[in-house]
Amino acid sequence: MRSIHTFDAQVARAVVALPVGLKPVFLVVTLLGSPTVTMAIGFGVVVAAYFRHSLRMALAGGGVWLTVGINSLIKLAVERERPLSDYALAMPLRTHSFPSGHAAGSMVAYGLLAYLAWRLLPQPWSAIVVVALGLLIFLIGVSRVYLGAHFPTDVIAGWLLGGVALVLIIVVVKPLQ
């Protein structure tokens, strides 16, 4: 447990040391990872599935919602307090810290969009979209630590949860079949 606290402290110190001028950027980036936005992406995939007549794609979109829900259940079970920061104290909705819902939701939602882009868009656009979405997922996680909403291990756990969900969606659900 001590090594986790040491890791969190060292990584958080490095992230918080990023320039103060990045705060407006990170506020926008963190908004893009909010459960409202990631669940809207999941809904958008369901709507696209309707027009494609694809039950598998609809299930993939529903997988985003399921991941956000599972993340919330884990938060309730673990009950890790958030960092003591002005940002965390000012959050209108008091939730626990572990795992990061922004990290899990962005990994599965934007990861699903990246997968769909890779499979459906022509090159070089598919590669450009995949890289941009991958960078966005990373920056959303960093924003949560920078703003003081999460410890780094919360973000890593969120990415892992979202990554497992994404792999299950791609391998089991197979949204484009």
Question: How many structural domains compose the chain?
Answer: 1
Predicted local confidence at residue 89, as pLDDT: 87
pTM over 0.85: yes
pLDDT tens-place string over residues 46-59: 999 999 999 999 99
- Cα 55 to chain center, whole Å? 24
Q: What is the pLDDT of residues 68-123, one digit of tens each?
A: 999 999 999 999 999 988 898 888 888 999 999 999 999 999 999 999 999 999 99
Domain of residue 16 covers 2-173
Structure tokens given for 20: 């103060």
